Amino acid sequence: MSGGTPVIVLNQNTKREQGRKVQLTNIQSAKTVADVIRTCLGPQAMLKMLMDPMGGIVMTNDGNAILREITVQHPAAKSMIEIARTQDEEVGDGTTSVIILAGEILAVSTAFLEQSIHPTIIITAYRQALEDMLEMASSRYSVDVDTNDTDKMHELIRTCLGTRVHTQWNQVACRIALDAVRTVHKERGSDGQAQEIDIKRYARIEKIPGGSIEDSCVLDGIMINKDVVHPQMRRRIANPRIVLLDCDLEYKKGESQTNVEIRQEEDFTRLLQLEEEYIKTVCQAVLAVKPDLVITEKGVSDLAQHYLVKAGVSVLRRLRRTDQWRVARAIGATIVNRPDELKEEDIGTGCGLFEVRKIGDEYYSYLVQCRNPKACTIVLRGPSKDILNEMDRSLNDALNVARNIVLKPKLCPGGGAFEMAIAHAVSEKGKALTTVHQGPYRALAAALEVIPRTLIQNCGANVIRTLTALRAKHAGTEPEDWMWGVDGETGKLRHMKADGIWEPLSVKNQVLKTATETAILLLRIDDIVSGTKKGGVEGAAAAAKAAANEAAQPAAGGDE
């Protein structure tokens, strides 16, 4: 009765892969991604030059930046690239490590899959190992740090920047990062306000080509890439009174649509007059509070400029909203929308000096010498745009490091020492396991060795010899033996505590968490179907939303 035409159930474009093959290709593609950036780990890391389709060039050794530029086909590889983003957003550092570690964890899993150990068993073991590792990391393999010790903090940040371009830049970057973080740091308030370090919003990096790297600094205030709107305005004011506006200083029509029909000639003149009068009143309202400087997000008409110049007030216009926020926070002003409502409290008086400086061909307005700024601009100087961009990226890392340490002042030794110590401890603990979970449990520990191993590889030392020596050190019984790691430049063993090489624990913890969970996610997959419905997920989400809307109708009846 069969033998007729084949039954077509799915769309014929659908491709499907199943079983062991899927697991192995997933692992393979994850490893491929890891291999791409393997050489970017450690102080001897090499830069990668990426060219985008438009012909632009990116030069970096930042894992996340590299992966962002790469287009990958395989879905599992996509998943890997996503985790670099997660890591970057969560702690802003360790993107390279997380990819390398995730790739390695998957690689060691291959052996178990080939022994036909069910993925769920491997996963359970990994999960357990992860918990144990995190517990050990915070209880045994980390030390507390005093965030008020400036020298120590500089030292710390420098280690984390060990891999970046210029050594001279390193010094500067550490100083800048710590200063900036301290500037924007808001302590835990008495009203229970959580402590806050919002670098993204309150510490802006401005790049000005030219000058030398050492000229880069954190301003005790804000710098804006603008000039005053009128050449006769003052370009240097000490202790200015500053008004911040987010409205136009020009005539703006009302919201409602208006049609004007004019019967008399005078009416038209009157209309024009009215517009001028409006500007005049607005300017008078502004001038009533006696400002020295007016900064607005919107435009300033020629007429308004005229009034303001006459009164000796300088004006900056068309600021970005985010810049305006920073200025408001730095000088203690409130942004005002209606000039007629300006009050004395709205005026910013926290700024010590307003000055327009000409650097190269461009004018920059400086609002500096702020008392207690809480927001700042970081000015970067450097010979070329590409170098500035790379400085920007590495400074971001430094800022994140500084933030992480200030928020969670716990450190662990760098140079692979932390990973070796955890690997050793977990592996020892795993020996006590009697179930089939023992293999994968200890394998996860072994996977951690990929970090010191890659460090050794990248500086060209003998991997086997060095790693064995390192293992021997960690098996030692002295209380601080676990702090032995690899010198990423020479490939020799070093005691991390003695040399002061530290990394924030929060980054390491996040690396462990993200890498392990990604491995779990990918190991659970035994079937890949491609060519499924386009936008199916959105459709589902929309449906769910519609359903939710229904449910929320008040006094909805039964739910079935």
DSSP calls for 212-234: -GGG-EE-SSEEES---SSTTS-
Nearest approach, Cβ of residue 345 and another protein (Å) = 8
In the bound state with another protein, the residue whose beta carbon lies nearer, of 196 and 355, is 196
Cα dihedral 441, 443, 447, 449 sign: positive
Strand-strand pairing, 353-359 and 203-209 = unpaired
Q: Select 332 or 485, whichever has its Cβ closest to another protein.
A: 332
Q: Which is nearer to another protein, 469 or 521 (CB)?
A: 521
The pairing of strands 376-382 and 242-245 is unpaired
Catalytic residue among 397, 454, 466, 516: 397
Q: Are 117 and 439 in contact (CB under 8 A)?
A: yes
Between residues 268 and 472, which has the closer beta carbon with respect to another protein? 268
Angle (CA) 160-161-166 rounded to 5° is: 165
Task: Give the C-alpha separation, 470 to 144, whole Å.
Answer: 24
Burial 313-332 (b: 16+ CB within 10 A, else e): bbbbbebeeebbbbbbbbbb
C-alpha distances in Å from residue 513, one per residue of 92, 210, 479, 516 = 15, 42, 27, 5
Which position among 60, 93, 96, 292 bears the catalytic label?
Answer: 96
Question: Please, what is the minimum distance in Å from the beta carbon of residue 4 to another protein?
Answer: 6
- Closest CB to another protein among residues 194, 432: 194
Using DSSP bridges, classify how beta strands 293-296 and 314-316 pair: parallel, antiparallel or unpaired: parallel
**Which residue, 56 or 557, is less far from another protein as judged by CB?**
557
What are the φ/ψ torsions at residue 255 (nearest 5 degrees)?
A: -70, -40
* Residue 284 beta carbon to another protein: minimum distance, rounded to whole angstroms: 15
Instruction: Sort strands 217-218 and 376-382 into parallel, antiparallel or unpaired.
Output: antiparallel
Work out how close the CB of 42 gets to another protein at its nearest, in angstroms, rounded to a whole number.
24
Residue 475 carries which side chain, given as an amino acid letter? A
Closest to another protein by CB, 257 vs 434, is: 257
340 is an active site residue: no
User: What distances in angstroms separate CA 530 from CA 28, 73, 83, 517, one per listed residue?
Assistant: 18, 11, 22, 23
Whole-number Å distance between alpha carbons of 513 and 131: 9
Closer residue to another protein (CB): 503 or 517? 517
d(CA 426, CA 446): 9
- HSE, side-chain direction, 13 A CA sphere, residue 479: 2
Which one is catalytic: 95, 163, 296, 377?
95
- Alpha-carbon distance of 223 to 376, in angstroms, equals 8
Shortest gap between Cβ of 545 and another protein (angstroms)? 8
* Catalytic (active site) residue 149: no
Based on CB atoms, which residue is closest to another protein, 3 or 231?
3
Phi/psi for 35 (5° steps) reads: -65, -30
Q: What is the CA radius of gyration of the chain?
A: 30
E-assigned strand segments in 369-458: 376-382, 410-413
CB of 335 to another protein, least distance (A): 7
Question: Does the active-site annotation cover 477?
Answer: no
Q: Which is nearer to another protein, 119 or 382 (CB)?
A: 119
Token pair listed for 245: 């506006």
Q: Which residues contact 94 (CB under 8 A, 6 or more apart)?
A: 87, 507, 508, 510, 511
Residue 258 CB, shortest distance to another protein, in Å, is 7
Q: How far is the CB of 544 from another protein (least distance, A)?
A: 9
Min dist. Cβ of residue 360 to another protein (A): 31
- Nearest distance from C-beta of residue 268 to another protein, angstroms: 9
Q: Shortest CA distance to 49 belongs to which of 65, 35, 32, 34? A: 65
Query: In the beta sheet, which residues pair with residue 58?
Result: 50
Give me the amino acid identity at 48: K
Question: Rounded to 5 degrees, what are φ and ψ at 148?
Answer: -85, -10
Residue 319, classed as helix, strand or coil, is: coil
Closest alpha carbon to 402 in 99, 97, 181: 181
Show which residues are catalytic.
62, 95-96, 397
